[in-house]
Amino acid sequence: MKLLVGLGNPGEQYARTRHNLGQDLLAEVVRRLALPSGNKRFQGLFGDGRIDGERVFWLIPETYMNLSGESVGAAVRYFRLQPADVIVLHDDVDLALGKVRMKIGGGNGGHNGLKSIQQILGTPDFVRIRLGVGRPPPGIDTARFVLAGFTPEEHLIRNRLLEQLPKVMPRILQGDLGGAMNQLSQNLNAAQ
């Protein structure tokens, strides 16, 4: 069993912002892979289904970003999951828009959602799918930048990612992060 988590902030004012890219991508995975729709549970929107025979839980916390760990921790405890069973999709300003990196463990890079999850789980050893949103232009505060929407040109890149990431989710669930990144890179390049 795996728990897919898409990080973001609740509310229409944050919809489709850079900081909600993890949440948006998880919603697209749920839609494209025909997972059952979710219910309010664990302080978020929660669902349960199967991808290539693997039982998968999915969770979009409806706490604010800096309290994401409360939602994730509640689901992990209820289903008696290990931190290694948790896969978190999140925005990352240290990667260019459209770039994706996957890894297990590591620091939080100043990301409050990751920091909260690490604190609640007591370890950084969960899977992260880092979704690049790029750095803010000079003179623009990082918080203001990630809480802003994408430009029309950036939306094209975002939409390619929304289309391609669900295709590699079975490999991610199998733990083949390297293979998933290679396949995703090839698919994104072919889609340009």
> Residue 192's pLDDT is what?
62
Active site residue ranges? 19
d(CA 4, CA 59): 6
Query: Cα-atom radius of gyration of the chain, to the nearest Å?
Result: 15
DSSP type of residue 20: G
d(CA 137, CA 20): 19
d(CA 58, CA 152): 29
Strand order in the sheet with 100-104: 39-41, 44-51, 54-61, 2-6, 86-92, 127-132, 100-104
Nearest-10 crossing angle of helices 152-173, 177-191:
150
The answer to pTM > 0.75 is yes
Please name each of the domains of the chain with its CATH number: 2-191 (3.40.50.1470)
| Closest to 131 (Cα-Cα) out of 19, 54, 2, 53 | 19
What's the pLDDT tens digit per position in 60-80?
A: 999 999 999 999 999 999 999
What's the pLDDT tens digit per position in 154-173?
A: 999 999 999 999 999 999 99
> Residue 188's pLDDT is what?
82
> Residue 110's pLDDT is what?
84
> Residue 191's pLDDT is what?
65
- Given a cut of 70, the residues of the chain with pLDDT beneath it are 191-192
Query: How are beta strands 2-6 and 127-132 bridged, if at all?
Result: unpaired
